[in-house]
Amino acid sequence: MNANTKERFKKLQPLIALAVMVIALTLLSDKFLTFANQRNILLQISVNLCLSIGMTLIILTGGIDLSVGAMLGLAGAVAAGLLKNGLGLKVFGVVLQFTPFGAIVAGILVGLALGWFNGFAITRFKLPPFVATLGMLSIARGLTMLWTGGFPVTDLGPKFGFIGAGFFLGVPMAVWISAALVVIFYFISKRTTLGRYIYAVGGSEKATAFSGINVNRVKIWVYALGGALAAVAGLIVTARLDAADPKAGLGYELDSIAAVVIGGTSLSGGRGSILGTVLGCLIIGVLNNGLFLLDVSPFWQQVVKGVVILAAVAADKMGSRRE
C-alpha cells in the first residue's frame, strides 16, 4: 500500500466503522432502521455535534477545551433566566423583559465571552489549555449555580421551545440547526483564511508565527467560537427540556472530545476535519442507540464507549508514529 492509499484508508476508517455498526445493528434489531429511530439518533447527536464542531476547531489548533459542558449549562441558564424573569435594573426602576430572540442572543454572547476569556487566558498568560479551561469549567459551573440558585428554571414557553422541540419538514429543529452549523463551519475551515490559519497553527505554531500570522488572535477566535457553539448546544438542550437545569452539560466535554478523536482529528493538532467529527458523532450516537436497543446495561455502555475512544486514539497514535 503506498502512502496515498494509506492516507485515504485512514480518512475512511470512521466511515467504515460506522457502516459496519449500521449493518450489524440492522441485523440485530428490527427497530434500528425505522424512520423514528433514525430521527431519534439525529436528534440525540445534535447537541454533541454543536459542541464537537467547536471542539474540532480547538483541537485542530493543538488545544483542548474542558469547559464546553459547563459553558453549555451557563448559557442555557442565562437565556432561560432572562426569558423567565428578565433583567431587573433597580437603579432605573425598570425590568428588561427579554424576548425569546433576545434570550437566545444573550445566551450565545455568554458562550462567546467565556470562550474568548479561555483564549485570552491561554494566549496572554501562556496557560496550558487543559488548565485554563479546567478553571473555566469550575467558574462556569459556579456562575450557573449562582444565577439559578441551584434550581431549574422552567416553563419557558413554546416560542423558545421551538428550537429544541419543534419540527420543520418533519425533521427536528435541533437537527436543522446542527446541520446548518456543520455546513457553515465546514466552509470556514476549508474555504476561509481563518480556516487555513487554524490548520497552520495546529501543524506548527512556530512556523505560523514566523510567517507573520497572529497566532494568538487565531487561538482566541477559535476558543470564542467554541464557546458560542457550546452556548448554541445549551440553548437546544434548554429549549428541548423547557427548563434550564443547573447541572446540564455535566460530562458533555468528554463525549465531544471522543467524537472529535473518533472522527480522525489528531489530538496534537493540524490534522482532521469537521466532516470527520460528524462521523465521530454519528458513531457515538449509533453506538449509544444500538447498545440501548440491544438492552445492554448502561454501565456496560460506558465501558464500551471508553474502549472505542481508546481504540480510536491508539489507532491515531500508531498511524502518526509510522508516518
Q: How many residues at the interface with other proteins, by CB under 8 A?
A: 21
Site membership for other proteins, residue 106 (CB under 8 A): yes
Whether 282 and 18 have beta carbons less than 8 Å apart is answered as yes
DSSP for 142-180, written as a single string: HHHHHHHTTS-EE---HHHHHHHH-EETTEEHHHHHHHH
- Minimum separation from the CB atom of position 90 to other proteins (A): 8
Q: For other proteins, which is the closer residue by CB, 9 or 101?
A: 101
Site membership for other proteins, residue 102 (CB under 8 A): yes
Q: For other proteins, which is the closer residue by CB, 160 or 199?
A: 160
Q: Around 110, how many Cα atoms within 13 Å sit in the side-chain half-sphere?
A: 32
Q: Could you say which residues in the range 274-303 bind other proteins, by CB under 8 A? A: none
Place of cell 440558585: 149
Phi, psi values for residue 268, rounded to 5°: -90, 0
Site membership for other proteins, residue 166 (CB under 8 A): no
Exactly one of 93, 170, 212, 298 binds other proteins (CB under 8 A); that residue is 93
Q: For other proteins, which is the closer residue by CB, 166 or 319?
A: 166
Site membership for other proteins, residue 135 (CB under 8 A): no
Secondary structure in 3-state letters for 28-40: HCCCCCCHHHHHH
- Minimum separation from the CB atom of position 252 to other proteins (A): 23
Nearest one of 60, 116, 153 to 231, comparing CA atoms: 116
Site membership for other proteins, residue 96 (CB under 8 A): yes
Return d(Cα 58, Cα 225) in angstroms, integer: 9
The region of 53-61, 91-99, 248-256, 274-282 touching other proteins under the rule CB under 8 A is 91-99
Nearest one of 117, 55, 66 to 251, comparing CA atoms: 66
The region of 60-68, 151-159, 165-173, 285-293 touching other proteins under the rule CB under 8 A is 151-159
Which residues of the shown chain bind other proteins in the complex (CB under 8 A)? Answer: 82, 85-88, 90, 93-99, 101-102, 105-106, 152, 154-155, 242
